[in-house]
Amino acid sequence: MAINLPRRLPAVVASIAVCVVLAAQGRECRRAGGQSPTATELKTEAGVAEAIKQLSADPSSASDGDAPPAAEKNRKKGTGKKNGATPTDAGDAPKSLPISASPTNEEKQDLGATARAMARGVFLVGGEAGTGSAWVLSKEHRLLVTNAHVADIRHASGGKMVAVPNGTATVYEVEKVWYHPGVRRFFKGHKLSVRSSDPDDGEVDSWSPDVAILQLGAAGADLEVEFTPATAEELASLFAQPVAIMGFPGHDTHGLPAQGETAAATFHNGVVSRLTDFQFGTGTPAAHHQFVQYTMSTWNGFSGSPVFLANGHVACVHNNSNFDRRGDEVRSIPHGVRVDCVLEMLVHHGLEDLVSFKFDKDALDIERWIEPDPRTERALADVAKAGALVDEGNALYDQGNYMEAAKKCGEALEVLPTYAPALTTRAGIFYVAWLKSDGWEAERAMTVLNQALNDATRANQLTPGLEILLQMGRIRNAMTWETDDDSHSRKVIDALNELLKDEKTLDMLSRASTLQVRGNSYNLTDQNDLALVDFNECVRLDPKNPGRYEARGRFLQSVGRSGEASADFLYADKLRGEGVEVWWEGKWYPAEILKTYGNQYYIHYKGYGAEWDEWVSYSRVRVDK
C-alpha cells in the first residue's frame, strides 16, 4: 500500500492542522539528522513496540526488541565542537567583556539620525503568499537585498512580487531573483537540511546564508537611497557595536499598503552580542562567523531588514528570531546573516560591477559554498535509504503482513527520525489493520489506534497537510467506535468546523473529503441530521467519485435506511465500471481499479508498468471523462 504524502496547505490551514485539537503529542526537533530524538520520541518507542505486538496473531509472541532503538545522539548546537575537535577562541567575540543590552543615548541619537536619512532605502516586499523587508544595494541597477526565504514569496505567489519604498505607496515589480550559493533548505518537508537555491526543494533553513538579491523592473521613478555594506575592518570589530534595524514587522504591518496608505517602517536599536558560524560554532575561522546575534527585539516581517551601524553601513541582514522558553519566561534571540555573505553572492553571480562600492573579492571564501557538501550528500542518502525501507513496508502490507510492514517503517525512522512518509505509512498500516480486524478486544484495538494517532500527529507536525489531518480524524472516529467515548469525534468536529469555515480555504475535492470525515464524526456523535447534510454535499461536490456514494451508503445503512443505502452502493459500482482517472502530481491519468478496501483503491495506470500500481485514497479518484 502506498500511503500518499500529504499536500501542503495554505498557511492558515497548516496552522489549524498543527494547532487545533487533534492531539499534538510532542514538538519535533528543528533539525534532522543532527539531533538526538525528542523526549516524546523516546517515550513513545514502548508504545510502538506494543502496537506492533498487537498486529500479530498472538500479541504476546512479539519480543521486546520490536521497538526501534533511539537514534544516535549527535552534537548539541552551540557547543562549538566539530568532528570531535576542541574549539579554540577565534578572537572575534571577547566573551569576558560584559556588554550593555542597548546603545548609549548618544549612540541612539546617531542611529536614529541615520535611520531618518536612509528611510527611503528600506522596502516592503511581498505577494499573495506574504510580506517581508528589503533594502537598496544599488539605486542605478535597482538591486535590493533580502532573505532567501523572503525571496521565496515570489515563487509561492506564482512568480509575482512587488516592492514598496518606505513612506510611499509607489509599487515596483520584482523582475529577477538571485540566491546565495550556500542557501540550505529543509528537503521536501523532512526537516533535512540540504544545500539548494530551488524553492521547490523546501523551506529555507535559516541557519544558513539566508540571503537573496532582487532586481526591480525598469518602470517607475528612480530609487532615492542606497545602503553600503560595512567594511572588512568594521566587520572585524562588530562585537558589542551599537546597531539598529528598520523594516516591516507583522505587529505593525499587516500586508501591502491598502489604497490611501503608505508603507511605514519600524525602527529598533540594540548591540551586537555574539558572532558564530551557522551551526553556532566558534571553533571555526573568524571569517566563517557570519551568523550575528543582537539585542534589539524583532518579529516576523523584519526578515530581510538591514541591521546597520551609526554611519549607515549595513552589518548584516536580519533573518530570524529563536525563542528561548524557560518556564513562563520566553526570550526572543534575533539573528542576522553578516553582510559579507551579500558580497559573496554578488561575486558568485557576476554582479559585482552593478554596485557603486568597491571590495576585495579575493578575501571572500566562496569556494566552500560551491564544493560538494557532505551534509547534503548524507541527507540525500538517508532519504533514499529510508524511502527504500518504507517501500519494503508497503510491499509487506500488500501481502497482509502488517506487523513486519510496521517494523520496516520503524527501521526507516531509525535511519531518519524525521522521515514523515514512514510515520504516515505506519499510521495508515495501524489504522487499516484495525479496520480489517475482527473481534479485537477494546484494549488491543486502542493500543494500535493510539500509536496510529501518535504517528499521524508527528507526521502532521513535520509536513502539515490535509490528507494526514483527515487521517487523524479517521483514527479519532475509530477510537469513538471502540470506546463509545464520543469526545474523540467531537474533537474532530471542532477542528474540521474551523477548517471548513471559509469556503475559499479548500478546493472542491479537498472540501468533499473533509466533509466526509466530519459526516462520520457527526454520525458517531448521534448528530445524524448534520451528518446527512455533509454526505449529501460530498456527493454534490464530487458526483463522479464512487467513494462518495459508498460513504453515504454506509451512513444510510447505519441509520436503518437500507433501501437508499443499496441505491448508493449500486451507483458506486456503476461509476467504478465506467473507468476512472487518478490525480497524480497535478494531472489526471487514466487508470483502472484492481481492488478496493473501504475508501482506498488499488489502481493501475493505463499505459504504465505494474511498478506504478498503488493504493490511493478516494479523493484522488474520479470517473474517466
What does the domain layout of the chain look like in residue ranges? 1-28+37-70+374-465, 105-371
Identity of residue 500: L
Which pLDDT score, from 0 to 100, does residue 112 have?
Answer: 93
| Distance (Å, whole) CA 548 – CA 616 | 14
**Cβ atoms within 10 A of the Cβ of 567, count?**
15
Which pLDDT score, from 0 to 100, does residue 157 have?
Answer: 93
Name the average pLDDT for the chain. Answer: 83
User: Three-class SS of residue 141?
Assistant: coil
User: Three-class SS of residue 115?
Assistant: helix
**CA separation (Å) from 28 to 414, 462, 511?**
15, 7, 28
Residues 6+ apart with CB under 8 A from 75: 34, 81, 82
Residues 6+ apart with CB under 8 A from 525: 480, 486, 489, 490, 493
Residues 6+ apart with CB under 8 A from 280: 77, 78, 80, 207, 291
In this prediction, residues 526-531 reach a mean pLDDT of 96
Q: Residues 469, 474, 476, CA angle at the centre, nearest 5°?
A: 95
Give the pLDDT confidence of 312-358 residue by residue, as tens digits.
999 999 998 877 666 776 677 899 999 999 999 999 999 999 999 99
As its CATH architecture, domain 105-371 has: Beta Barrel (2.40)
Confidence tier at 272 by pLDDT (50, 70, 90) = very high
Tell which residue, 334, 303, 310, has the closest CA to residue 321: 334
Residues 6+ apart with CB under 8 A from 299: 249, 250, 251, 321, 332
User: Three-class SS of residue 268?
Assistant: strand
Residue 234, pLDDT > 90, answer yes
Which pLDDT score, from 0 to 100, does residue 218 have?
Answer: 94
Dihedral angle, C-alpha 7, 11, 14, 15, nearest 10 ° = 180
Residue 599, pLDDT > 80, answer no
Strands 329-338 and 600-605 come out as unpaired
| H/E element, 43 | helix 39-53
Q: Please give the residue that has the higher pLDDT: either 342 or 575.
A: 342
Confidence tier at 266 by pLDDT (50, 70, 90) = very high
| Distance (Å, whole) CA 171 – CA 180 | 26
Residue 104, pLDDT > 50, answer yes
Go through the chain and tell me how many residues it has. 625
Confidence tier at 46 by pLDDT (50, 70, 90) = low
| Distance (Å, whole) CA 475 – CA 479 | 6
Give whichever of 92-101, 186-195, 347-356, 561-570 has the largest mean pLDDT.
347-356
Of the chain, the percentage scoring pLDDT greater than 70 comes to 81
Q: Are 593 and 576 in contact (CB under 8 A)?
A: yes
In this prediction, residues 597-619 reach a mean pLDDT of 80
Q: Judge residue 64's burial from the number of C-beta atoms within 10 Å of its C-beta, 0-12 exposed, 13-18 middle, 19 or more buried.
A: exposed
Confidence tier at 5 by pLDDT (50, 70, 90) = very low
Which ranges of 545-615 does DSSP label H, i.e. alpha helix? 546-558, 562-577
Query: pTM to 2 decimals?
Result: 0.68
Residue bearing cell 436503518: 560
Which pLDDT score, from 0 to 100, does residue 624 have?
Answer: 66
